[in-house]
Structure 1
Amino acid sequence: MVDLLAATGAETFGRGTGIAWLALDMSALGALVAFACVRHAKYSARFRLVWLTMAAVSLGGVGLWLANSVALLGIRVEDSIMRYNVALGAASLAIAVVGVLAGLLIGGRTPQLPRLIVGGLTTGLSVGLSTYLTLDALEVQGQVEESLGLIGIAVLLSMALCTATLWASQVVRIVALRVVASLLFALGVAAVYYTAVASLEFTLDPGSRTPTGLQLFDLVYPMFVIGALGLTVPITAVLVAPDRRDAVRAPEPQRQPVGTR
């Protein structure tokens, strides 16, 4: 007779807190690069979509999805082999990037409350769904269940976080304040993630077959390298792009009437 273990939660920091700090750093760095890209998009007409796409990849792909995936490396479940469903992981990445891009497009160039709310809710729902799918991609020897109440709280936190982040991306100009906003975003992402992790319960069956999918490290490590290298593209673009703010704000020179000196 197979011995089924009682439902148990995961050890969130089963491999130490260093992984959690690394995830926090990745989240803050992705947000900081995204804020700079959004700032350039505000004053660019021709390449606005390009800037916003780089912002969405930095914020949704690195600041959210990659940070959450790195944090997953710290989870340990006793007496069970863990695997990761690549299809669900890819879906969560796509939803995070597309959702952030949609929110940025809806939010517009300047703060307008109706657009800000709609954009924030759109992004927040996408981020909440992405976080849920990231955790749902975990497979163990047994079953994984989620508490819908805690998942709902995580989604609400996500919507509040994304609305505040969208507002900050529109109004924060000083670099030092962008750094502060990036750190607050990283803390918010961590709050959403760990709230969702707290909802997980594992009913283990050590005698069952090994779950399909990849070992988590085999997926996260190459994605971490790709994400870190990928950030060099928007960072380089931000550094070499001309600052259009002065050109936008400067009044056009007045033309003198013909025949006058």
Structure 2
Amino acid sequence: MNYEVITAQWDLGLVALSFAVSTLGAFAALSTAPSIRTRDGRLSWFNLFVTGVALGGVGIWALHFIGMLAYRLPIGVGYGLWETAVSLLAAAVVSAAALGYIASAPFTWRRLAVAGPLAGLGVALMHYLGMYGMRFGGYLEWDFARVGASIAVAVFAATAALWLAFHVRSLVSRLSASVVMAGAVGAMHYTGMSAATVVCTVADRSAVPPGTLHPLELPLTVTLVALTAVALILFDRLMQRLAPAEAARAAR
């Protein structure tokens, strides 16, 4: 059996796209996070779900998956459907759970110290589950020092994201914080990607494993779905903000 270490190249256009989509997802999450906890102190489950999707599904997972597609290999690569779907679900659920835990009571550093690391570990799980879903004729070797570094960055990024979600209010602050959040998530993702070395073990390097998602069709699909989700989330947020004014006008 031939073993060959494969050198990857980065599609910088997709790298930039991953950061742009993540920034939009983070902005949507920061826009909806204040409405998770209602004025009477209860959780709004709908707003929690929406914010979890924005932060976990778009801000984190979309960057992760588009970033994986930016990792160009001169061999056939596909992506396992179940691993990809579970990694998306994990990102959204972990984000929603962490946001809900913090929002369920007045903010304290203790609650952040619990939720941040747990969310970071969940993000790391999502990342490596997604990488496990890569299908090709070979295997991955890992630099565990970089794996550990990526997990540490994930904990920092998740903790920072949760703090920002409940402390940023103005439009300019939300825009700035969105860029910071996307940068932190990107640092975790690309550190994790750098921990992997691809080893090819087959003669036909171009063959894509059957029953997998083909990478050529995925960047546009993921981007369109993510942008549609962000647009719907921001539209819903706008409608929620306009509703009290409309009700007041109708009562006159």
Q: TM-score, normalised by structure 2?
A: 0.87
Code of the aligned partner of 1:164: A
Code of the aligned partner of 1:10: A
Q: How big is the shift at 1:140?
A: 1.7
Identity %: 24
Residue in structure 2 matched with residue 43 of structure 1 by the alignment: 38
3-state SS of 1:145 partner? strand
For residues 137-175 of structure 1, the C-alpha deviation after alignment (integer angstroms, 9 at most, x for no partner) is: 112221122222212211111111111111111111122
Structure 1 distance, partners of 2:200, 2:63, is: 27
Of residues 190, 211, 224, the one that matches 2:209 is 211
Equivalent pairs, count: 239
Structure 2 distance, partners of 1:244, 1:172, is: 22
Residue in structure 2 matched with residue 10 of structure 1 by the alignment: 8
Q: How big is the shift at 1:105?
A: 1.1
Q: How big is the shift at 1:59?
A: 0.7
Q: Could you tell me whether the CA contact under 8 Å between 2:78 and 2:135 is conserved in 1?
A: yes
Of residues 90, 97, 111, the one that matches 2:92 is 97
Q: How does 1:92-241 map to 2 (within 5 A)?
A: 92-108=87-103, 110-207=106-203, 210-212=208-210, 213-241=212-240
Structure 2 distance, partners of 1:156, 1:101, is: 21
Q: Which moved more, 1:55-64 or 1:35-44?
A: 35-44
Runs of 4+ in 1 over 6 A off after TM superposition: none
Q: Could you tell me whether the CA contact under 8 Å between 1:9 and 1:200 is conserved in 2?
A: no
For residues 33-83 of structure 1, the C-alpha deviation after alignment (integer angstroms, 9 at most, x for no partner) is: 0011111223355771111110110110011111211122221223x2111
3-state SS of 2:71 partner? coil
Q: Could you tell me whether the CA contact under 8 Å between 2:21 and 2:226 is conserved in 1?
A: no
Q: Could you tell me whether the CA contact under 8 Å between 1:102 and 1:122 is conserved in 2?
A: no
Q: Could you tell me whether the CA contact under 8 Å between 1:106 and 1:118 is conserved in 2?
A: no
Code of the aligned partner of 2:225: I
Q: Could you tell me whether the CA contact under 8 Å between 1:132 and 1:151 is conserved in 2?
A: no
Structure 2 distance, partners of 1:220, 1:186, is: 18
Structure 2 distance, partners of 1:214, 1:103, is: 30
Q: Which moved more, 1:228-237 or 1:97-106?
A: 228-237
Q: Could you tell me whether the CA contact under 8 Å between 1:120 and 1:163 is conserved in 2?
A: yes
Structure 2 distance, partners of 1:48, 1:60, is: 18
In structure 2, the CA distance between the partners of 1:244 and 1:225, relative to structure 1 (3 Å rule), is closer
1:61 aligns with 2:60: no
- Cα root mean square deviation, aligned: 2.1
Q: Which moved more, 1:68-77 or 1:121-130?
A: 68-77
Q: How big is the shift at 1:111?
A: 2.4
Structure number with greater Rg is: 1
Structure 2 distance, partners of 1:178, 1:219, is: 29
Q: Could you tell me whether the CA contact under 8 Å between 1:146 and 1:200 is conserved in 2?
A: yes
1:86 aligns with 2:81: yes
Which has the larger helix fraction?
A: 2
Gap regions ≥5 residues in structure 1: 246-261
Structure 2 distance, partners of 1:40, 1:164, is: 19
Q: Could you tell me whether the CA contact under 8 Å between 2:8 and 2:72 is conserved in 1?
A: yes
Q: TM-score, normalised by structure 1?
A: 0.84
Code of the aligned partner of 1:25: A
